[in-house]
Amino acid sequence: EDQQLTAKAQQILDVISQADGSIDRTGIADALGQRTLNPHDRNLLDSLEEMGLIEVDRFTSGGSTFYRYRLPNTRDAQE
């Protein structure tokens, strides 16, 4: 619990927590008012995942990897 989130990390976490279920990188960038996520943003997402604050679903399609981010235990929220 003593890991302090930076303002940007907190912003990203807020965006994910306000998403209905899960959100992709484009959606996060949009919510932050950016065209895309920069490498620093992607590192913050990795850190949030390592801290257990978010979960990431990764899937591959046509040779590209796609990511969807959600809060832990929100997978079944729609049921």
Q: What single string gives the DSSP state of each residue in the chain?
A: --PPPPHHHHHHHHHHHHSSS-EEHHHHHHHTT-SS--HHHHHHHHHHHHTTS-EEEEEEETTEEEEEEE-TT-TTTT-
Distance (Å, whole) CA 49 – CA 28: 15
Residue 28, token pair as written in the block:
């996060």
pLDDT of residue 73: 82
Q: Which domains does the chain have, with CATH numbers?
A: 7-70 (1.10.10.10)
Distance (Å, whole) CA 67 – CA 2: 27
pLDDT of residue 78: 46
Query: pLDDT truncated to tens, each residue of the chain (79 aa)?
Result: 456 899 999 999 999 999 989 999 999 999 999 999 999 999 999 999 999 999 999 999 999 999 999 999 866 544 4
